[in-house]
Amino acid sequence: MLAYAKDEERLRELDIRWREPKPGIEKSFAAAGEAWESANVDPVAATRIYRRALRAMRDELEPAVFRYDHIDEADNMGSPKPRPNLIF
C-alpha cells in the first residue's frame, strides 16, 4: 500500500499506521497464551508448544501469522529475527 502525506513528521507524532487484523490472529493469540501457561512461563517450552499449535491450525490462519512463532521471556509473541520498526 502506498500513502502520501503532506506532513510526515506529524504522521510520526500521531503514530498513524495502517492496521488490519490477519484472519485467525485471535486464535493465534489464544494459542500463545495457552502455551505460556502450560509451559510454566518457560519461553523455550512455550515457543515449542505454540509452534505445534500453529501447525495444527495451519488451514485457519493467514500465512503471515506464522512469521510470529516465537514467545520471549516477557510473554510477547514475535519473530526470532526482529527488524527495526517499519513505519513507511
Distance, in Å, from the CA atom of 15 to the CA atom of 58, rounded to the nearest integer, reads 32
pLDDT the model gives residue 53: 94
pLDDT for 24 equals 84
The pTM assigned to this predicted structure is 0.68
The pLDDT of residue 88: 40
Cα distance between residue 77 and residue 21, in whole Å: 15
Which residues does the chain have with pLDDT short of 70?
1, 75-88
Q: What is the pLDDT of residues 10-31, one digit of tens each?
A: 888 888 877 788 888 889 889 9
